[in-house]
Structure 1
């Protein structure tokens, strides 16, 4: 147990934190794909939200047309003020194409669409539906700082399950990459990015104003890109991180089209774009090697931590992951982020109308 502060305010749970929070003035955004249909984790999340009584729950859904009616019927079974935003419908696709916003679809695009609709609430909470350890205190914890001095909050938690250390992309890629940058560059953005205890957590909350100001990554890198946007919009003094305890949810393989290797490319692209926009100019000729050396040092520390706790740990497999992630340390590619809703070439009313028509057509 510790109580130290970071460059962003760090709010700890010392065993029973259950703060008062403006839950009734918040929209909770829970993105889903067809794999969440009737899943135990998603059932637990939605049942818990029903007990909290938020202003609204908004589910941006990415699924083929034939799966939507059953999904909608399942969601209607929860005692919630719930709105489904079907993100895969043809009318919505045509609308985005007409304003030049067609392109890669993924979680980031789904979240961007939902943030536009959710930002008419005073506060917005965003989290995934795959948490097996979801607690009724999570949403109030994320929201409580927004009633005070903060405009954006980020959740953090220990990725420890079944006697193993997880959170591999954070501790073997993000953390050592930020450290490698900070060793060469004295800049507030690196102090800020290095302050987050689990920067790749999907759980966050923000004011409606911040939600409208975010430029959003289309696919991987959403969480890191959001931290950069929060820095731009709220500044480090307007951001807090809150302790959500332990979290258990899905794990990904390293290889494959949706594995951690692919994810590292999106995370690296988003992270390095954030630091470049803040004024840092990385030396990309030496950065991959410096990253790998620091990642090896971090891995030795995590191996010792695992042994200290009697955990199962495979140092060779972790070093192989470092080599995979090294390939993601390169200059950012083209900027394909979706625009802030404050600057978007379409209205949220148009999005809601198109998505509702798509839903009606498959009902």
Structure 2
């Protein structure tokens, strides 16, 4: 059995009945309000995963607020989303992240010399959601809308470590076993075949490094599911590129002591997958480019590491060998568990990932400043009532949607 602890606190799944967590959360929620944040494209409403999530959330009585950060192309799509989530017993806020009222609010910030109008995507949705959630909740959890294997224990495991006052945890990140729900094949290629060998390679090339040691402590650094205190949430600069998850870990590193960080095992996990991509500008290759450039920037920012052309060559050469060794290990692990494993395809994927390394180094050199949205403390310094104005905008959007239905 795995009792191994990392540099950060690791909460294992020992196959216990988590109903006692829900009972404790029900008690704690009487004095500590919780908000669940779900970033979502409108398209997710057409898929079965989000319907399953909604059904499970109906019995999560300890959650006071469900804040959905929705990207919708039309008002009709937004209206449909409001109706879709209206079945939930919690107080629901559907934030139309690209809607006219939110855009108008952001334009008022721009008039005060804080221009956020260029930000978009999941990072923008997370920023808006954290801001709104921090207004009325002390603890916030986030998970995506495409989790095929979702059940209500997931949110209990995310919330509880941060909710329990005795623990002193400020940030809790998920980790899990990425096996296909139908094929049982090993998924999580970006972590297995890029991030894992990359971090090992960087540590070999640079020597022991505090930030790399921190990153390597996370068993699934690209997991998009986490919980945190609202105090921490308003102090994070949210990355606005495909390096969102690893960029957020960098922000947590800057703002929280390691003893206040944990990770929790959510068991078997599956959601929709990105393609590797035919070119470095597509799919997982683009994601890996953003991830590496983010790590390079953070190493310079936090550890004063200055990279040269020699570092790029060393990382690229070493990466291939470390990744190939891992593939042999994955093959043994998969075979012993009766899991299908295509070694040739894994090698091809590694070869594609290797090609993004010089691109990421070039991106780091040409764009040394990361694309991160200023934290909410800065936004509130510019416009102290910004969260209240956002809440009013959401309430008006939802009122219009409900009126349209009538």
In the superposition, the TM-score normalised over structure 1's length comes to 0.93
TM-superposed CA distance for 1:64, in Å, is 0.6
CA contact 2:294–2:370 (8 Å) conserved in 1? no
Confirm whether residue 271 of structure 1 aligns to residue 295 of structure 2: yes
Aligned twin of 2:101 = 91
Larger mean Cα displacement after TM superposition, 219-228 or 18-27: 18-27
The aligned residue for residue 352 of structure 1 is 391
| Count of equivalent residues | 363
The answer to whether the 8 Å contact 1:164/1:312 transfers is yes
* Structure 1 residue 234: Cα displacement: 1.0
Q: Does 1:26 align with 2:26?
A: no
Tell me how far 1:152 sits from its aligned partner: 0.4
Aligned equivalents of 1:324, 1:356: Cα separation in 2: 46
Q: Which of 151, 154, 157 is the equivalent residue of 2:173?
A: 154
Match of 1:201, SS? Answer: coil
Query: In structure 2, what is the equivalent of residue 182 of structure 1?
Result: 203
Q: Show CA shifts across 1:86-132 (max 9, x none).
A: 00113322433523112141011101111011112110001112112
* Corresponding residue for residue 165 of structure 1: 186
The match for 2:221 is: 199
* Equivalent residues of 2:241, 2:371 under 8 A apart: no
Structure 2, gaps ≥5 residues long:
none
Residues in 1 aligned to 2:326 and 2:300: alpha-carbon distance in whole angstroms: 24
Structure 2 equivalent of residue 105 of structure 1: 120
The answer on 1:143 being equivalent to 2:159 is yes
The offset of 1:238, in angstroms, is 1.1
Residue of structure 2 equivalent to 1:64? 73
Any idea what SS the aligned residue of 1:251 has?
coil
What is the correspondence of 1:191-270 to structure 2 with a 5 Å cutoff? 191-255=213-277, 259-270=283-294
Q: Are residues 16 and 23 of structure 1, via their aligned partners in 2, closer, same or farther at CA, if it must alter by over 3 Å?
A: farther
Matched, 1:338 2:373: yes
User: Offset of 1:273 from its aligned partner?
Assistant: 2.4
> Contact 1:196/1:241 (CA < 8 Å) preserved in 2?
yes
1:321 positional shift = 1.6
Larger radius of gyration: 2
Using the size of structure 2 for normalisation, the TM-score is 0.84
Distance 1:323 1:275 in 2: 25
The worse-fitting range, judged by mean Cα deviation, of 206-215 and 260-269 is 260-269
Unaligned runs of 5+ in 1: none
Structure 1 residues 90, 164: closer, same or farther in 2, change over 3 A? same
Q: How much does 1:163 deviate?
A: 2.7
SS at match of 1:15: coil
When structure 1 is superposed on structure 2, of 148-157 and 297-306 the one drifting more is 297-306
Work out the CA distance in 2 between the residues paired with 1:351 and 1:292.
48
> In terms of mean alpha carbon deviation, does 268-277 or 221-230 score higher?
268-277
- Answer yes or no: is the 8 Å Cα contact 1:109–1:219 preserved in 2: no
With 51-60 and 144-153 compared, the bigger mean Cα shift is at 144-153
C-alpha displacement at 1:235, in angstroms?
Answer: 2.1
Q: Quote the residue 2:333 is aligned against.
A: 305
8 A Cα contact 1:156 1:198, kept in partner: yes
CA distances 1:161-184 after superposition (whole Å, capped 9, x unpaired): 223111100111111111111112
CA distance in 1, matches of 2:353, 2:173: 24
- How many Å separate the matches in 2 of 1:205 and 1:23? 15
Q: Which has the higher helix share?
A: 2
How far apart are 1:260 and its partner, in Å?
1.3
Runs of 4+ in 1 over 6 A off after TM superposition: none
Counterpart secondary structure, 1:119: helix
- In structure 1, what is the Cα distance between the partners aligned to 2:256 and 2:169? 8
Between 305-314 and 281-290, report the one with greater CA deviation.
281-290
